[in-house]
């Protein structure tokens, strides 16, 4: 794996499986590591001031990855009412019917590749290729919390109300993000997710 410097206290490691490398770096349990941040094709490792990045970089570049980053067990099940404002548009773009869009979205198993954009916002990989659609040309100023959405190769569930340009398929009452809960985010890098259609 290629290891790049990100200033004098962080390393950026390129990898095809960020959530697995994220799990492997956490499992090291090294106290000089402050944050481990997976991205779409990288893991950023930030360190305490004064950490010697040379040896750490060598270690990270050769780190063996676990088979899976999840602890096994059942995927997180997310109940969804599929009545999103963009269902018709997605059907038109993909040439599918509304029912087929829903069916394909609910049939897949997803994995949280990484989180970003806002606290608890997970980028879900595993979206059916037929459902890869571009973002809206003009983002909405407010997307409600719990909105189930897609854009490009990713699925997502808006954890809190925010502006957003993703296409809305439905909504869930599941509370993805709660800073008073431990952990605050139901989604972690590597979490498996399934959507279940509800009336």
Partner 1 sequence: MIEVVRSGPLATVQDLGRAGYAHLGVPHSGAADRPSLCLANRLVGNDEGAAGLELTFGGAALRFDAGAWIAVTGAPLPVRPGTMNAPFHVPAGTVVEFGAPSSGVRTYVAVRGGVEVEPVLGSRSTDVLSGLGPPPLSAGDRLGRGHATGPITVDVAPVPEPETEPVLRIAPGPRDDWFESLEPLTRAAYEVTAQSNRVGVRLEGPALTRRREGELPSEGMVTGSLQVPPNGLPIIFLADHPTTGGYPVAAVLAADDVPRAAQLRPGQRVRFRLTGP
Enumerate residues 94-133 that contact partner 1 by CB under 8 A. 114-121, 123
* Identity of the residue, 23 or 101, whose beta carbon is nearer to partner 1 in the bound complex: 23
178 makes contact with partner 1 (CB under 8 A) = no
- Smallest distance, Å, CB 78 to partner 1? 17
- Out of 6, 27, 85, 92, point to the residue binding partner 1 (CB under 8 A): 6
Q: Per CB under 8 A, which region of 31-39, 70-78, 127-135, 139-147 contacts partner 1?
A: 31-39
- Out of 17, 20, 21, 36, point to the residue binding partner 1 (CB under 8 A): 36
- Decide if 105 contacts 194 (C-beta within 8 A): no
x/- string (CB under 8 A) for partner 1, residues 131-160? -----------------------------x
- Out of 29, 49, 54, 72, point to the residue binding partner 1 (CB under 8 A): 49
* Nearest partner of 157 among 165, 145, 141, judged by Cα: 145
- Decide if 48 contacts 143 (C-beta within 8 A): no
- Smallest distance, Å, CB 92 to partner 1? 25
The rounded distance, in Å, linking the Cα atoms of 79 and 155 is 15
Q: In this structure, what token pair is assigned to residue 132?
A: 């890869």
Q: How many residues bind partner 1 (CB under 8 A)?
A: 38
- Out of 17, 21, 24, 38, point to the residue binding partner 1 (CB under 8 A): 38
7 makes contact with partner 1 (CB under 8 A) = yes
Residues that bind partner 1 (CB under 8 A): 4-10, 12, 22, 34-44, 46, 49, 114-121, 123, 160, 179, 183-185, 188-189
């Amino acid at each position: 794996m290629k290891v790049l410097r990100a200033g004098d206290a962080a390393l950026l490691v390129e990898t095809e499986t960020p959530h697995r490398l994220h799990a492997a770096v956490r499992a090291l349990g090294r106290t000089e590591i402050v944050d481990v941040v997976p991205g779409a094709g990288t893991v950023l490792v930030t360190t305490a001031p004064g950490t010697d990045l040379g040896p750490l970089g060598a270690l990270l570049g050769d780190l063996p990855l676990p088979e899976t980053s999840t602890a096994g067990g059942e995927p997180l099940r997310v109940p969804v009412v599929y009545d999103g404002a963009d269902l018709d548009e997605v059907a038109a773009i993909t040439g599918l019917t509304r029912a087929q869009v829903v069916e394909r979205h609910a049939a897949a198993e997803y994995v949280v590749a990484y989180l970003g954009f806002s606290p608890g916002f997970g980028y879900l990989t595993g979206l059916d290729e037929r459902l890869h659609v571009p973002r809206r040309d003009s983002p909405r100023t407010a997307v409600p919390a719990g909105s189930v959405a897609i854009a490009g190769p990713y699925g997502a569930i808006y954890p809190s109300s925010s502006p957003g340009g993703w296409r809305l398929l439905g909504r869930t009452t599941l509370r993805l993000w709660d800073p008073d809960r431990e952990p605050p985010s139901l989604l972690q890098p590597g979490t498996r997710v399934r959507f279940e259609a509800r009336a």
